[in-house]
Structure 1
Amino acid sequence: MEETKKTAILIPCYNESKTIENVIRDYQAVMPHAKIYVYDNNSSDGTDEIARKAGATVRYEYRQGKGNVVRSMFREIDADCYIMTDGDDTYPAEFALELEKQIYSKQADMAIGDRLSSTYFTENKRPFHNIGNVLVRKLINILFKASVKDIMTGSRGFTKEFVKSFPVTSKGFEIETEMTIFALDNNFKIVEVPIEYRDRPEGSESKLNTYSDGYKVLKTIGTLFRDTKPYAFFSIISLFLLVVGGAFFVPILLNYLETGTVARYPTLIVITSLGIIAIISYFCGVILEVLKKQHRHNFERNLNLLNELWQKNDDKS
């Protein structure tokens, strides 16, 4: 790593007083060149004071939710490499060095700490979390034709380009899913690094609600699928409506061919309406796909301009 390069360790925290000091000490030992930022999200157990005494720079985000914290971190911190981890001491610090290496060697725009390929399923004692991770992974890989192994890990490395171009819209734990889909949709380079995972120490409780947060993640996937792949999304709706309409239309058609009369006019009217809606839905998808491609072109153009501006600033300094 070049001496002029700046690495920032970002740790979003909510009531992690039992573990935050150990997390900070581990990163200080493994990555002494990096600056550690702890963003306190309305903790009531003195997490911020413990982090400050341990040597971290402490900042605050008063809007509750991990997505809100990530938004503030990405907006406020300026660095060349960003390493994000959790304050619950579940991700060993030594693996962050490999994430950092992937970023500085330009192998990745987002380096993912892959828990699911190592110790996650044996260490994590919450079976519904395990099932949810597998379900989300399969769903995203099918919808976005990808092969990402760990969608929801909290251990990640980012380039400056990724951080400053990522529009955070999630408020809670669905933020990791949003990051992954954003990277896939915008053709950012993703590298997965197998890392060890250890369950929370005794007395440390997870803030993740399996059912409500799981619902939010699935809702986020659906929303982002609609926004990033509108042609596929609305084509599926059109096909569904046509299949339903066809199932009701066939008996009416057979009856007409047999008797020469239409027996169920109300049903035929509903079927016709479904057909019209299906056609409208399909062409909405076509129009939105064109707009999406235009947005993609603008995004790439603006990203290139940002890179040129940063390069000029680096040359001056």
Structure 2
Amino acid sequence: MRTLVIIPTYNESENIGSIVGRVRASVPEAEVLVVDDGSPDGTGELADALAATDANVHVMHRSGKEGLGAAYRAGMTWGLDAGFGAIVEMDADGSHQPEQLPSLLAALRGVDRPGADVVLGSRWVEGGGVVNWPARRRAISRGGSAYSRIALGLPVKDVTGGYRAFTAEALRALQYDRTESQGYCFQIDMTRRAYDAGLSIVEVPITFVERERGASKMGGGIVVEAMLRVTLWGVTGLPRRFRKRTPAPTAEPVARA
């Protein structure tokens, strides 16, 4: 299964070399696509330099900052068109440890269990966790996942995490290209679409490490977008979820002559 790791970037010049190098060392057979949204700090040029010396590194240059969701949609389309069978989402800042990627891919490929359609790197299952987060940030993240899980009826612990692997068939089935979210709400949207499409979802424990260099892209607008969209999806999806959970009536046996 050819694997593509998509890494969206915006002003990640301090991190891009390290993260790409760690991915290539951890999963040498995987290829990397850096999707740069016109970073003014030169991230795109640094990525080009990496690609010039490694045929398994590719770069997509976009004209400006359009959001995480748009970057992933563009990268996924590129990967599917190129024939990759597995596509991975990963942050550029080192918070998603490339050394844990083999565990996600093993779950996707069915090394120790039946293969999954979608694998979520989860901070909130047994064995997962976060490093260098203050209590407030931890509470916001866990609260956001809990609210999304309850509002949307999702049977997963980490709804908002961004370290994920999909089969190509799963991405097509959940219609990733029809998502509209631009911030981290994109991850919630992808999770609910995967569940609604009946795909198998597995959570693998990861340790999320807070970035050491550069600035976080998490802003108030991203949180507001997520709250509004999740609430809307939750309300409009209630009738469908109720029907899904209500057992079908047992059919009466047909009398035979």
Relative to the length of structure 2, the TM-score reads 0.81
Paired residues for 1:52-201 under 5 Å: 52-55=48-51, 56-62=57-63, 64-78=66-80, 79-105=84-110, 107-117=115-125, 118-120=128-130, 122-125=131-134, 127-164=135-172, 165-166=175-176, 167-201=178-212
**1:124, distance to aligned residue in structure 2 (A):** 1.8
Q: Which residue of 1 aligns with 2:248?
A: none
The total of aligned residue pairs comes to 227
Structure 1 position 39 matched with structure 2 position 35: yes
Question: 1:28-62: per-residue Cα shift (whole Å, max 9, x none)?
Answer: 11111111100001211111121222232110233
Question: 1:59-114: per-residue Cα shift (whole Å, max 9, x none)?
Answer: 02335101111111122212100111000111111211111122222521110011
Q: 2:154–2:192: 8 Å Cα contact kept in structure 1?
A: no
| Structure 2 residue corresponding to 1:206, chosen from 212, 216, 224 | 216
Q: Which residue of 2 aligns with 1:293?
A: none
Q: Which residue of 1 aligns with 2:232?
A: 223
Task: Give the match's secondary structure for 2:208.
Answer: coil
**Distance 1:163-1:52 versus aligned 2 partners, 3 A rule:** same
Counterparts of 1:82 and 1:174 in 2: how far apart (Å)?
A: 19
- Write out the 4+ residue segments of structure 1 that deviate beyond 4 Å after TM superposition: 230-233
Task: Give the match's secondary structure for 1:229.
Answer: helix
Task: Give the match's secondary structure for 1:39.
Answer: strand
Q: Which residue of 2 aligns with 1:264?
A: none
**1:25, distance to aligned residue in structure 2 (A):** 0.3
Question: 1:253-300: per-residue Cα shift (whole Å, max 9, x none)?
Answer: xxxxxxxxxxxxxxxxxxxxxxxxxxxxxxxxxxxx8xxxxxxxxxxx
Counterparts of 1:11 and 1:114 in 2: how far apart (Å)?
A: 18
Identify the structure with the greater strand proportion.
2
Structure 1 position 12 matched with structure 2 position 13: no
Question: 1:223-268: per-residue Cα shift (whole Å, max 9, x none)?
Answer: 22244334679xxxxxxxxxxxxxxxxxxxxxxxxxxxxxxxxxxx
- Structure 2 residues without counterparts, runs of 5 or longer: 52-56, 244-257
Percentage identity across paired residues of the two chains: 25
Using the TM superposition, name which of 171-180 and 132-141 deviates more: 132-141
Question: 1:129-185: per-residue Cα shift (whole Å, max 9, x none)?
Answer: 322222222222223433312111111000112222322211222111111111222
Paired residues for 1:299-314 under 5 Å: none
Counterparts of 2:240 and 2:123 in 1: how far apart (Å)?
A: 33
Q: 1:123–1:199: 8 Å Cα contact kept in structure 2?
A: yes
- Structure 1 residues without counterparts, runs of 5 or longer: 234-288, 290-317
Q: Higher Cα Rg: structure 1 or 2?
A: 1
**1:21, distance to aligned residue in structure 2 (A):** 0.6
Q: Which residue of 2 aligns with 1:272?
A: none
Counterparts of 1:17 and 1:116 in 2: how far apart (Å)?
A: 30
Using the TM superposition, name which of 88-97 and 136-145 deviates more: 136-145
Counterparts of 1:94 and 1:40 in 2: how far apart (Å)?
A: 23
Task: Give the match's secondary structure for 1:99.
Answer: helix
CA RMSD of aligned residues (A): 2.1
Counterparts of 2:231 and 2:241 in 1: how far apart (Å)?
A: 12
Q: 1:132–1:214: 8 Å Cα contact kept in structure 2?
A: no
Q: 1:61–1:68: 8 Å Cα contact kept in structure 2?
A: no
Task: Give the match's secondary structure for 2:162.
Answer: coil
Q: 1:133–1:151: 8 Å Cα contact kept in structure 2?
A: no
